[in-house]
Structure 1
Amino acid sequence: MAQTSPPKWPNRFLEWYCNPTLLEEIQGDAYEMYFRTRKMHSRVLADLQFTWNILRFFRWSNIKRSRTSSPSSLMMLHNYFSVFKRGFIKQKGYSFLNIFGLGIGIACFILISLYIHDEYSFDRMHSKADRIYRIHEIFESDGIGERSASQPFPVAEALLNDYDAQIEQAVRFYNFQAPTLAVATIDDKNKKEFNETRLFFTEPSFFDVFDFPLVKGNRKTALHDTHTMVLTESAARKYFGDEDPVGKYLKFQGNTNLLIIGVLKDIPPNTHFQFDFLVSFETLKSFYEGHLPPSWYWNPCWTYLLLKDPGSVHTLHTAMPAFVQKYFPNMVRNDVTMEFMALADIHLHSHMDYEIQPNSRESTIYIFGSIAVFVLLIACINFINLSTARAAKRAKEVGMRKTLGSPRGQLVTQFLMESILLCLLAAMLAVALVVIALPFFNTFAEKAIFTHTLLEPFYLALLLGLPLGVGILAGLYPAVVLSSFLPITALKANVSREKGAIFRKALVTLQFTLSIMLLIGTGVAIDQLNMLQKSDTGFARENVIMVPVMLTPVAEKYEALRTEFRRNANVVSVTAMEEILGSKHQVGNFIFEGMPESKPFPRMNVRHDFLKTFDIPIVAGRDYSEDVGTDDTLSLLVNETLVKQMGWGSNEAAVGKKFGTRPNRTIIGVVKDFNFASRHQSIRPLVMDLNLNSQAFQIFMKYMAVRITGNQVPETIASLEQQWKAQIPGWPFEYFFLDSNLEKLYHAENKMSKITLIFSGLSMLVACLGLFGLSTFTAEQRKKEMSIRKVMGSSNTQIFLLFSKGFFSLILLANVLAFPLAWFLLKQWLAGFAYQVNIDFSLFVLAGVAAAAIAFITIGYQAWRAAHSNPAEVLKNE
């Protein structure tokens, strides 16, 4: 079969092109041809004008080559960059939408990843972190009792003695279980005194286990001697200004002088507990008659172990049942189990009773991580959508390049490089946005993240990898599809505007599905938070002033102080109690009528008027009375849940039931159930024990509670402070409002709601940016169609609806997909709460309507322009 020779005109064209003189002649001929054909059909004229522009571009770029030799790689890159620059400047609007949308998405992803990175960095700064474990005590029977992060005093020494082959060191922390401890300077001329919340007693082994740097003092001898202490740099400045504190004294609890022997560098924020003062453990003996408390029942010490080998934890865990049977008293040993938790896991996984300070939750990390991925995915979809939409307009450029001899590989490289360059610009914008937003993000996220973190290898790789990955994905369509066109097809025919339309519609639907899910999730999270914070807890918490009194001289002055407080007309009632009501509780062993042995029950030591102060109703029997002198020894109050658990039939039947082993000890009243702990837990049995012992303020009575009317609050507080100073001179008066304190219990949910709200709003913004760009492109592509329809009699309203309905059908489909997915995921999240808000379907409707309204506003302008355009102008130019 005869071979057909290829047409000679491309080769002849290349010969002319490589000759500058001939090229100028071609330019002149083309210019003359342009004017001779002005009245030709508009499409032919446009083709000629496009060819002329291509010739001018190649002449301007001054790339000279012979017919047989290919341009160097450097010259090719220069060519690619020139094309990119011209396209960027010519299409400013699309370039801005592409870069700004993707930049916001990357910035959101980086900010949330910085937050997650910080959460996972807790306690990992210690060189021996993989060998440090905290030991927990689970004291429960039938699911009732406590899961304590602390241990009895003797546990650490017994473990070191029995398991020295596995344990290298042990260190305990203790703070009298007091909410605050008084610290003051001993200089009366410039006296400074404060109630401190971050003071702990600890052992010299602290410096062997942890790596907190001591900037002044000797790590080997620090905290060995009695009545010595170290403090942080911030605490030193607080009490001594710029003076060197080493060798000076601070007064503890008004009567104990402590010698400062060292200064610690300020404790980093990414540790699971914070402290400002560390006092030697030996000092405790002076408070407990020369020795440490030997009780195996009382568990006030947080105990950390440094293992010789991380694998030893399994051996220790197996040995704990025998350890409990060996040392713990008979009445509790069958209800106690011991658990170990790695130091690095405490912040995200430990939610025990009596944590040193509240921890975060890993579930929150998963939620934030999902939000970060969603926002980034939405931004990437925008970028890919706009890139593929604009690609079809470059079909003639592809055809001309292929005609001029460009191989397909060069075309693929060019499109991918242009896409990656845009992504790199977006990444640079993202870094700028992160630097600007980080101080504000630190404020509401309560973090101390620094911008130099972005220089870590992970974030450098992220900032390079993301643009590369997104750029390749976005550039694949023009690179692969357009480069496959035959030159004659690309030059003689228009690439249909429907090319890739289904793909773009799918991406728009996906991004609005994700945005609607985020909006619904934010609404449900806010509802859940409001329910936890504001729903009825069963007791009065507004206008209740809490005054820390443990280990203060109030023990001898309580009744006199209470009487003076009650003289104020704005004071409703005054009482004292063991823990913050609605926050936490203690546990005690009780035996009730019908029980074979004692069991642990949640317990609250209280004083008279406890129920009156918190407006807790009695449902059967009576309250403690100051007229009955035996109530503190022979009487007990319980709640309704305890009655139900004991199976006593009714609240009235519970009154008169026996408790304890002594005769005549009876339950005198049953109170209505209330949330004595946080609403993360369901209501459990509770015993309210009247404790009138004057020594109770050393261990059991931690707070006075003063309920006021709410009138003249500043004047009332000033009056309380005046009476306090009159009764207890030289002791700081501090207080807080109960309702404000209880809000801290739901701090994690509050923070999550804020972050979710902000980033869901940003996700909708990014989605709308993409929708605006896509609608602008669609309006440009369909302007001739819309003009013809107007000429044929279509009204502006019909044109508007025709243009808009395609987009709104995608929003409707996104709602259909988002609703069941959001409902399923939210049910999984709410399952972690004892009290769950009912998912309000109106939130789904509201989120769907909001998405549709935002989309309407976004595309409305382009639809209006399409409907009100002048057909004569459009068709004349076409």
Structure 2
Amino acid sequence: MLKNYLTIALRNLRKHKGFTFINVFGLAVGLACCLLITLYIVDELSFDRYNTKADRIYRINTDIVFGGNDMRFAVSPDPLGPTLKKDYPQVENYVRFHDRGTWLVKRSGQPHNLREDKIVFADSTLFDVFTLPFIAGDPKRALAEPNTVVISESAARRHFANRNPIGQTLVFNDTQVYKVTGVMQDMPENSHFRTDFFVTMLNDNYQWGQWLSNNHHTYILLKPGIDPNAFEKNFTDVVENYIGPQALAIMGVNMKQFRESGNKYRMWMVPLTDIHLKSRQTIELAPNGDIQYIYIFGAVAIFILLIACINFMNLATARSANRAKEVGVRKVLGSERQQLISQFMVESILMAVFAMGLALGLVTLALPLFNTIAAKNLSVQRLLAPNYLAVILLLPVVVGMLAGSYPAFFLSSFRPLLVLKGGAFKLINRRSAQVSLRSGLVVFQFAMSVILIIGTMVVYRQINYIQTTKLGFNRDQVLTIHEVYSLGNQAEAFKNEILRLPGIVGGTLSGYLPVPSDRNDSPMFPEGEFDQKKAVSMQQWTVDHDYVQTLGMQVVQGRDFSRDFGYDSSGIILNETAVKIFGFKDPIGKRVMQMFDATGKNFKTYTIIGVVKNFHFESLRRNIGALGLFLNKNTSAASFRLSTQNMSALIPQIETKWKQMAPGQPFNYSFLEDKFDAIYRAEQRIGTIALTFAIIAILVACLGLFGLAAFMAEQRTKEIGVRKVLGASVPSLVTMLSWDFLKLVFIAIVIATPIAWWAMNQWLQDFAYRIDVPWWVYIMAGVVAIFIAFVTISFQSIRAALMNPVKSLRTE
């Protein structure tokens, strides 16, 4: 019986090639989009799950409200890990990370350094908490002694080629020598942080025991069976017993008084597997994803697949009258309804199987481009994994049954006597429920399409706003050269050499640039008022005399740092936010104190010499915080403003100067504008992906509309013939036929607009600086949907209107 069903199904599919192609192609596109998005979602959800103890690992976050600043840190005080292990038996182990950023690294005896992007200091307990398999060395002892480092397999190839790294030494920043005691496998890409170098925490040059400083990423491993929610309540005692005494010793207030002043100090745990998608703390080890986009893309995948299934229903129903006599003949010859349903379901599943094969081909072709857009490294081979393979085998059956169920039950219900007398169209016309369902499905298709169009337009307008808004400084044509400290005492001379080159109009030495980075806030107080209520938590940057001018910032009160004033080393320039929080009406000449260490006894006093206009140095998701600029030597980076457009000629000249003054040191540079754009690269990727799937959804929806237009035109063939005989013009007929479809699109727009308005306003809440979505965005999205629908409909409408009325009147 199954063989008979397949033979008849293949025969029918070959007979109606155009219908088969449209149906298979529509389903294939829907399935391909679903597979691509599923690959993306599964990869995002897999982060950190490679750790065998992932379900028991938690990171300690710290939320602080103090000095006019709301700080949400992914870091915590350095004594926290050891203290939790000592005081609470529920903690099996802990590990701390201290991210020290980019260093220059070379093998001992080699003249040339390599730039390594992330050097992380870690406790020797690292490999007991995290699953990082070793290729060589003993993970239990690898970081237990001073001057030791564990490197990745990739780092071993870079620095040691075919040599055995164990026991060899590496030189960091030309000064610090570390022995390689372990080589681990490269950290998986689906990790919330990645590094090639773990240096023993015993060599971290840090003032230990500071409960009021937050600089370490602390992870704890709970013992099996421990309730994390119950354990988290212990942090209240930790704050009272350890944070409180230091706060009392330094500021003279206990934690109760601290909170009564409107301040807050809270520690809490985030599961390791939630960090990548659900953590929005600052000072993360690496940029995170966003769970909202998982929900959005998951919904898009389902919608596109449903739209493709709806197309199948509409197209199959549109062809129903052509197969009515076949149903009648089969029933007269003794076929039962169940057999007819099975026949049509086999045809549907067979087309879904063909569609899945085509979808896999489309995924293979599209995956490289998708990886580029999404910044992923997904592979088609992952689809061959047992769990994916099961989905690939079952999905065509499920989709075929879902898409073919309605046409199968609809076609098999025809009465043989009526259809054999040519009454199929009358039967169809009487079934208003089916007509309403098909219309509702088209409304659903275009409502989803309009939501995607509006969403895409809003995302791109927000990104454009971010890229074009005035930031308070000039980020254009600012070239930054990194690791200038490798020049030693020649850093200032290098800066002066570059300033002599044609096309260079300004330069500054500073490690602080107005782009988000892992910088902590520290409190400052008005002179003589060491009171927590008067504290201002602020960024504190060390810069040189040329910093403000080079970056195009605006001094609105007082003056900039000047070489004509020898006492500027004790001066400070505040931004407008800091002045506002301090409450200074006339800030110039006022003096503020900086706490010099954690004892609460050593202070340094600065005189306010100027106020700089607020500029954005964090993401536009956050309001501008308080900032102070200090005059001091900092040779982390050199930034130069360029006036020339001929970058290709100027950069080699700068590199030549570098190599002359820093032989053996890598020349690394970036543009400030690129760093700024990188902050919002995730949104740019999301916008591009959303635009791509919006276009696909609209195209797939148009196939469904095309099917419904064919169905309606086929139903009204005789009516069209009569109207033409009575003198109706082609434009009037096209208008008549088109209106039935366009009113469905209008209904879809009415439904979709408030949903899109709510969804995009929710998304924009993440930005402190955001656009107001203008009314014309919704109008334009509607116009685009109507235009696309009309173009799709007009093909069938014009074709039906141009039909010879003699042939039309012979159809029934």
TM-score by length of 2: 0.90
Query: Which residue of 2 is the match for residue 99 of structure 1?
Result: 24
Tell me if the contact between 2:105 and 2:115 (Cα under 8 Å) persists in the aligned partners.
yes
Find the residue that maps to 1:337 and give its secondary structure. Answer: strand
Query: Which residue of 2 is the match for residue 27 of structure 1?
Result: none
Seen in structure 2, the aligned counterparts of structure 1 residues 723 and 82 have a Cα distance that, compared at 3 Å, is closer
Q: How far is the alpha carbon of 1:876 from its aligned partner?
A: 6.0
Of residues 619, 624, 628 in structure 1, which corresponds to 2:556?
A: 619
Find the residue that maps to 1:250 and give its secondary structure. Answer: strand
Query: Which residue of 2 is the match for residue 844 of structure 1?
Result: 778
Tell me if the contact between 1:586 and 1:604 (Cα under 8 Å) persists in the aligned partners.
no
Tell me if the contact between 1:613 and 1:707 (Cα under 8 Å) persists in the aligned partners.
yes
Find the residue that maps to 2:668 and give its secondary structure. Answer: coil
Seen in structure 2, the aligned counterparts of structure 1 residues 828 and 711 have a Cα distance that, compared at 3 Å, is closer
Query: Which residue of 1 is the match for residue 153 of structure 2?
Result: 233
Of residues 286, 298, 317 in structure 1, which corresponds to 2:232?
A: 317
Of residues 557, 562, 580 in structure 2, which corresponds to 1:644?
A: 580
Tell me if the contact between 1:139 and 1:600 (Cα under 8 Å) persists in the aligned partners.
no
Of residues 181, 191, 197 in structure 1, which corresponds to 2:103?
A: 181
Find the residue that maps to 1:359 and give its secondary structure. Answer: coil
Tell me if the contact between 2:151 and 2:196 (Cα under 8 Å) persists in the aligned partners.
yes
Seen in structure 2, the aligned counterparts of structure 1 residues 702 and 324 have a Cα distance that, compared at 3 Å, is farther
CA deviations over 1:17-49 (Å, ceiling 9, x no partner): xxxxxxxxxxxxxxxxxxxxxxxxxxxxxxxxx
Alpha-carbon distance in 2 for matches of 1:423, 1:712 = 56
Q: How far is the alpha carbon of 1:456 from its aligned partner?
A: 4.1
Q: How far is the alpha carbon of 1:115 from its aligned partner?
A: 0.6
Q: How far is the alpha carbon of 1:502 from its aligned partner?
A: 2.4
Query: Which residue of 2 is the match for residue 564 of structure 1?
Result: 497
Seen in structure 2, the aligned counterparts of structure 1 residues 153 and 710 have a Cα distance that, compared at 3 Å, is farther
Seen in structure 2, the aligned counterparts of structure 1 residues 366 and 710 have a Cα distance that, compared at 3 Å, is farther
Aligned: 1:733 with 2:667: yes
Q: Which amino acid is 1:480 matched to?
A: F
Q: How far is the alpha carbon of 1:660 from its aligned partner?
A: 1.8
Find the residue that maps to 1:174 and give its secondary structure. Answer: strand
Counting only pairs closer than 5 Å after superposition, residues 109-258 of structure 1 correspond to structure 2 as: 109-141=34-66, 144=69, 146-163=71-88, 165-176=89-100, 178=101, 180-188=102-110, 192-258=112-178
Q: How far is the alpha carbon of 1:590 from its aligned partner?
A: 0.5
Find the residue that maps to 2:773 and give its secondary structure. Answer: coil
Counting only pairs closer than 5 Å after superposition, residues 384-783 of structure 1 correspond to structure 2 as: 384-496=313-425, 497-498=428-429, 499=431, 500-549=434-483, 552-554=485-487, 556-584=489-517, 585-592=519-526, 596-597=531-532, 598-633=535-570, 635-648=571-584, 650=585, 653-660=586-593, 665-692=606-633, 697=634, 702-783=636-717
Of residues 732, 739, 743 in structure 2, which corresponds to 1:809?
A: 743
Q: In terms of mean alpha carbon deviation, does 85-94 or 275-284 score higher?
A: 275-284
Alpha-carbon distance in 1 for matches of 2:367, 2:649 = 41
Q: In terms of mean alpha carbon deviation, does 330-339 or 525-534 score higher?
A: 330-339
Of residues 277, 301, 305 in structure 2, which corresponds to 1:376?
A: 305
Alpha-carbon distance in 2 for matches of 1:711, 1:89 = 61
Seen in structure 2, the aligned counterparts of structure 1 residues 295 and 630 have a Cα distance that, compared at 3 Å, is farther
Q: Which amino acid is 1:253 matched to?
A: N
Of residues 285, 288, 300 in structure 1, which corresponds to 2:215?
A: 300
Q: How far is the alpha carbon of 1:458 from its aligned partner?
A: 4.3
Seen in structure 2, the aligned counterparts of structure 1 residues 730 and 493 have a Cα distance that, compared at 3 Å, is closer
Query: Which residue of 1 is the match for residue 284 of structure 2?
Result: 355
Q: How far is the alpha carbon of 1:439 from its aligned partner?
A: 2.4
Q: Which amino acid is 2:575 matched to?
A: N
Alpha-carbon distance in 2 for matches of 1:553, 1:417 = 71
Tell me if the contact between 1:576 and 1:606 (Cα under 8 Å) persists in the aligned partners.
yes
Seen in structure 2, the aligned counterparts of structure 1 residues 309 and 728 have a Cα distance that, compared at 3 Å, is same
CA deviations over 1:768-793 (Å, ceiling 9, x no partner): 12222333344344344323332332
Larger Rg: 1
Query: Which residue of 2 is the match for residue 365 of structure 1?
Result: 294
Q: How far is the alpha carbon of 1:522 from its aligned partner?
A: 0.5
Find the residue that maps to 1:586 and give its secondary structure. Answer: coil
Tell me if the contact between 1:623 and 1:668 (Cα under 8 Å) persists in the aligned partners.
yes
Q: Which amino acid is 2:763 matched to?
A: W
Alpha-carbon distance in 1 for matches of 2:392, 2:673 = 44
Tell me if the contact between 1:145 and 1:587 (Cα under 8 Å) persists in the aligned partners.
no
CA deviations over 1:235-292 (Å, ceiling 9, x no partner): 22223334443343322211333333332222211001111122233344xx57xxx7
Seen in structure 2, the aligned counterparts of structure 1 residues 392 and 471 have a Cα distance that, compared at 3 Å, is farther
Q: Which amino acid is 1:230 matched to?
A: V
Alpha-carbon distance in 1 for matches of 2:76, 2:652 = 40
Of residues 175, 181, 185 in structure 2, which corresponds to 1:261?
A: 181
TM-score by length of 1: 0.84
Alpha-carbon distance in 1 for matches of 2:384, 2:125 = 36
Seen in structure 2, the aligned counterparts of structure 1 residues 325 and 732 have a Cα distance that, compared at 3 Å, is farther
How well do the aligned residues superpose, as a CA RMSD in angstroms? 2.6
Tell me if the contact between 1:94 and 1:773 (Cα under 8 Å) persists in the aligned partners.
no
Q: What 5-or-longer segments of structure 2 have no aligned partner?
A: 259-263, 595-602
CA deviations over 1:326-360 (Å, ceiling 9, x no partner): 44432477554322211111101122221111111
CA deviations over 1:118-139 (Å, ceiling 9, x no partner): 1110000111001111122334
CA deviations over 1:195-236 (Å, ceiling 9, x no partner): 111322223322111112212223333223333323222222
Tell me if the contact between 2:522 and 2:539 (Cα under 8 Å) persists in the aligned partners.
yes
Q: How far is the alpha carbon of 1:553 from its aligned partner?
A: 4.4
Q: In terms of mean alpha carbon deviation, does 499-508 or 262-271 score higher?
A: 499-508
Alpha-carbon distance in 2 for matches of 1:145, 1:570 = 42
CA deviations over 1:798-825 (Å, ceiling 9, x no partner): 2322332222222222222222221122
Alpha-carbon distance in 2 for matches of 1:641, 1:448 = 42
Alpha-carbon distance in 2 for matches of 1:676, 1:850 = 38
Seen in structure 2, the aligned counterparts of structure 1 residues 715 and 557 have a Cα distance that, compared at 3 Å, is same
Q: Which amino acid is 1:256 matched to?
A: Q
Seen in structure 2, the aligned counterparts of structure 1 residues 274 and 305 have a Cα distance that, compared at 3 Å, is same
Q: How far is the alpha carbon of 1:145 from its aligned partner?
A: 5.2
How many residues matched?
Answer: 781
Alpha-carbon distance in 2 for matches of 1:221, 1:586 = 32
Q: In terms of mean alpha carbon deviation, does 138-147 or 790-799 score higher?
A: 138-147
Q: What 5-or-longer segments of structure 1 have no aligned partner?
A: 1-75
Q: How far is the alpha carbon of 1:182 from its aligned partner?
A: 0.4
Alpha-carbon distance in 2 for matches of 1:609, 1:762 = 51
Query: Which residue of 2 is the match for residue 82 of structure 1?
Result: 7
Find the residue that maps to 2:270 and give its secondary structure. Answer: strand
Q: Which amino acid is 2:676 matched to?
A: L
Tell me if the contact between 1:131 and 1:306 (Cα under 8 Å) persists in the aligned partners.
yes
